[in-house]
Amino acid sequence: MPQRHSKNNNDLAFFTYDEKRKLGYGTQRERLGKDSIKPFDACCLCLKPFIDPMCCQKGHVFCKECILECLLAQKKDIQRKLAAYAAQQKQEKDEEEEKLIMQKARELEAFDQQNHGAVPQSSDRSHGRDKNGFHGANSVKATSYEAEALRTMKAFWLPSATPEAPMKVDAPLTSTICPEGKEKLKLKSLFPIHFSEDSSDTKSSSSLDQTYICPSCKVTLTNTLALSAISSCGHVYCKKCAEKFVVVDKVCLVCNKPCKERNLVNLEKGGTGFAGHGDHLEAKDFKHLGSGSGLGLVRPATKT
Instruction: Report d(CA 173, CA 82) in Å as an integer.
Output: 9
Average confidence (pLDDT) over 94-118: 87
Say if CB 257 and CB 233 are below 8 A apart: yes
Residue 120 has pLDDT above 60, yes or no: no
The CATH code of domain 40-111+175-193 reads 3.30.40.10
On average, the pLDDT of the chain sits at: 76
pLDDT, one tens digit per residue, over 25-50 is: 777 777 766 677 788 888 888 888 88
Assessment of whether the complete model's pTM goes beyond 0.85: no
Q: What is the pLDDT of residue 214?
A: 92
Instruction: Report d(CA 157, CA 163) in Å as an integer.
Output: 11
Locate the domains of the chain by residue range: 40-111+175-193
Residue 252 has pLDDT above 80, yes or no: yes
Say if CB 271 and CB 40 are below 8 A apart: no
Say if CB 40 and CB 223 are below 8 A apart: yes
What residue ranges in the chain does DSSP mark as E strands? 26-31, 53-55, 61-63, 191-192, 196-197, 212-213, 227-230, 236-238, 264-266, 282-289, 296-298, 302-303
Residue 235 has pLDDT above 90, yes or no: yes
Q: What is the dihedral of CA 171, 174, 178, 181, to 10 degrees?
A: -50
Task: List, in order, residues 6 or more apart from 99 with CB less than 8 Å away.
Answer: none
pLDDT, one tens digit per residue, over 43-100 is: 888 888 889 999 999 999 999 999 999 999 999 999 999 999 999 999 999 999 999 9
Q: What is the pLDDT of residue 70?
A: 93
